[in-house]
């Protein structure tokens, strides 16, 4: 039996990994799916975790990049709205999760023989826990560890993600089109280089960032809000 930790780099998977090692639970391999659109601070965090535990994390990647699937991939099946590229993800079409995370993970696990996969689902995520699959364990849920407790556990051990959790609820892909407006304002304010890249990405596809507005329109809106705050 091979014991494989699914490591996203976020608070829950980090807490789970550290707790498992502290409890001397078997961990044969730690896998991380790199979408290529993680926050720079996330890559720093992963390196810090490797140094802390004294082990390397196996990085999995899709055959093609996010940018390729996003704007250049020519679809040959399905109706799809975009003639070229998948464009921005929507709640009903989360192609990025499937192609850049699920598919590489499934492809890797397929060759692992008999295994148990450990995923960081917290105790206050019962809906996600209901979707548990064969050969999968959710240790944090079983231990009663909540999301808040998981974050504090990591903070207590010196992991702060460069302040990402002070700005965002979730710290997955920085360019996610499913972010709230408040988080997009934060991205623009604290990560201007990423915001400029987001504007450029949006210019490359026909269907814009949100169904009702583009990133360029958001830029004008946020700039106007900044000006109003200065005036009043």
Per-residue pLDDT in tens (0 to 9) along the chain, 232 residues: 999 999 999 999 999 999 999 999 999 999 999 999 999 999 999 999 999 999 999 999 999 999 999 999 987 665 555 567 899 999 888 999 999 999 999 999 998 999 999 999 999 988 888 777 788 999 999 999 999 999 999 999 999 999 999 999 999 999 999 999 999 999 999 999 999 999 999 999 988 999 889 999 999 999 999 888 877 7
Residue ending a domain, choose from 174, 191, 217: 174
Looking at the structure, do residues 85 and 158 belong to the same domain, yes or no? yes
Looking up tokens 């009903």 gives 92
* pTM score of the predicted model: 0.91
Record the tokens describing residue 172, joined without a space: 């997955």
Domain with 183, as residue range(s), is 179-232
Looking at the structure, do residues 204 and 95 belong to the same domain, yes or no? no
C-alpha torsion sign, points 117, 62, 112, 9: negative
Residue ending a domain, choose from 124, 147, 174: 174
Beta strands in 72-146 (DSSP E): 115-118, 136-137
Looking at the structure, do residues 134 and 231 belong to the same domain, yes or no? no
Give me the number of domains the chain comprises: 2
Return the CATH number at 11: 3.40.50.620
Looking at the structure, do residues 185 and 148 belong to the same domain, yes or no? no
Q: What is the pLDDT of residues 107-132, one digit of tens each?
A: 999 989 999 999 999 999 888 887 77
| Dist. CA 232–CA 65, nearest whole Å | 45
| Dist. CA 30–CA 55, nearest whole Å | 9
Beta-carbon contacts of 114 under 8 Å, excluding residues fewer than 6 positions away, are 1, 2
Looking at the structure, do residues 25 and 42 belong to the same domain, yes or no? yes
Separation of first and last alpha carbons in the chain: 64
């Amino acid at each position: 039996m091979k014991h494989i930790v699914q490591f996203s780099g976020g608070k829950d998977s980090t807490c789970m990994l550290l707790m498992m090692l502290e409890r001397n639970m078997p961990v044969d391999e730690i896998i991380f799916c790199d979408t290529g659109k993680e926050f720079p601070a996330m890559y720093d965090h992963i390196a810090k975790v490797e140094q802390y535990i004294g082990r390397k994390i196996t990085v999995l990647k899709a055959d093609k990049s996010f940018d390729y699937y996003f704007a250049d991939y020519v679809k040959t099946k399905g109706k799809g709205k975009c003639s070229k590229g998948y464009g921005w993800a929507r709640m009903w079409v989360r192609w990025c999760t499937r192609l850049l995370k699920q598919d590489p993970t499934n492809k890797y696990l397929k060759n692992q023989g008999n295994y148990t996969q450990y995923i960081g689902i917290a105790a206050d995520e019962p809906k996600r826990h209901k979707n548990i699959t064969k050969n999968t364990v959710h240790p944090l849920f079983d231990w009663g560890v909540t999301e808040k407790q998981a974050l504090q556990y990591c903070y207590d051990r010196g992991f702060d993600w460069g302040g990402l959790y002070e700005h965002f609820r979730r710290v997955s892909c920085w360019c996610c089109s499913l972010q709230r407006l408040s988080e997009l304002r934060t991205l623009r304010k604290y990560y201007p280089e990423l915001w400029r890249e987001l504007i450029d990405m949006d210019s490359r596809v026909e269907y814009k960032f949100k169904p009702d507005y583009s990133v360029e329109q958001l830029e004008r809106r946020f700039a106007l809000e900044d000006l109003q705050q200065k005036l009043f």
